[in-house]
A = this chain, B = another copy of it.
């Protein structure tokens, strides 16, 4: 399965595409950051995030989009921008009928490092190792986006199939998406 991970943000929105199945080596297909200028008004920033994410969706055609779940108990200054950028990511994917999964930061950390309280450096190191990269992706938002995609591939094959069924029903698309047509390991790591 091919997953676009999105670490939402207005200033830096991390994006990373990972392909693979649970229990097999994973492949990174792309990583980057959609940036918007901090001095632009909110509307233009949201439009820029939308345009940037649409390009990633066009180029990589992911079967799933995994977005970090935003909590409102975070820093009150940044949480609204994060929530609004995440809304744009969820909207862009849902408009195309791509199932969206939300994972909490601690679920992502636990999936890739074994600890829900791992720091940024540990997450970056594990992402580097799991995707066989030469160095940790920079900035941290890009590495976090890859970690989200990895988390999604590993966490829930059954959950994914359920979401796809719901998405198909809602969008009226009868054909089976590629991920369920391919056989893949059902005993994947589930943390």
Spell out A's residues near B (CB within 8 Å).
40-44, 46-47, 50, 70, 72-73, 76, 79-80, 83-88, 90-91, 93-95, 99-100, 102, 166, 170
- Whether the pair A94, B166 counts as a contact (CB closer than 8 A) is no
Point out the residues of chain B lying under 8 angstroms from A94, CB to CB. Answer: 43-44, 46-47
Closest to A77 in B: B72
With both beta carbons as reference points, the residue of chain B lying nearest to A79 in the complex is identified as B72
A159 to chain B, nearest CB (A): 12
Distance (whole angstroms) from the CB of A169 to the closest CB of chain B: 10
> Given the known A-B contacts A70-B80, A80-B72, are A46 and B166 also in contact in the complex, defined by CB atoms under 8 Å?
no
Closest 4 CB pairs of A and B: A43-B94, A84-B87, A87-B87, A83-B83
13 interchain pairs, CB-CB under 8 A: A41-B166, A42-B102, A43-B90, A46-B87, A46-B90, A46-B94, A47-B91, A80-B83, A83-B84, A84-B84, A84-B86, A84-B90, A87-B87
